[in-house]
A and B are shown apart, each in its own frame.
Chain A
């Protein structure tokens, strides 16, 4: 199975500060279609996960543009340009290129 390693485990940031979360995969996530199925989701406390980014860098329509995704092959990054209070929760990367689909262990973002 593809292992997804996220760092850091947790972040404590003040509102307005930038955030960066790393996600590394044990195998290349570039698929035979030429697409890279690396995605990011956010799970706020007590809620179900919500979509953020798909295929490395494509934001879903409702996601603020302070979020961005980048990377290729085995190394990926989620960035928040300026953290806001509503951004708290656990961020997960997950890959859909290889069976079985696998998730990172999550990065908890706390607001100072």
Chain B
């Protein structure tokens, strides 16, 4: 069955960087793009952008341009999200979701806590 398994929780200090992974299984990784979605504690969902898993081309929503980088390890069927120069407001759970007509499969979420 289709699964997206994300990396574990992270505790970071302001200014540090973090890399979150999303490993896909149960389908051909390069057939579907991957979305990234942010959920701050107790808040709703915010789309960060997506990455074309065939070409590797990322597309970022305006609020996520600059410190956020989507990348791939296609041979490992893995999509990555790297956040640099972490700020307190980056504290959130980050989800990957497979892009089809909708978002038909979601990872379990990766929690990032930024605290000094």
A residues contacting B by CB (< 8 A) are 37, 39, 41, 43, 47-51, 53-55, 58, 60, 92, 94, 96, 99-106
Contacts and interface: CB of A to CB of B under 8 A. Distances in A.
Contacts of B49: 100
A51 B103 contact: yes
A101 B103 CA distance: 11
A97 to B, nearest CB: 12
Contacts of A43: 45
A99 B108 CA distance: 25
A37 B102 CA distance: 8
Given A49-B106, A102-B47, 5 more contacts: A43-B45, A48-B107, A48-B109, A55-B102, A103-B46
B35 interface: yes
Contact of B45 (A37, A50, A54, A103): A103
Given A49-B95, A92-B45, A106-B44, A100 B104 contact: no
B47 A60 contact: no
Contacts of A100: 47, 49, 61-62
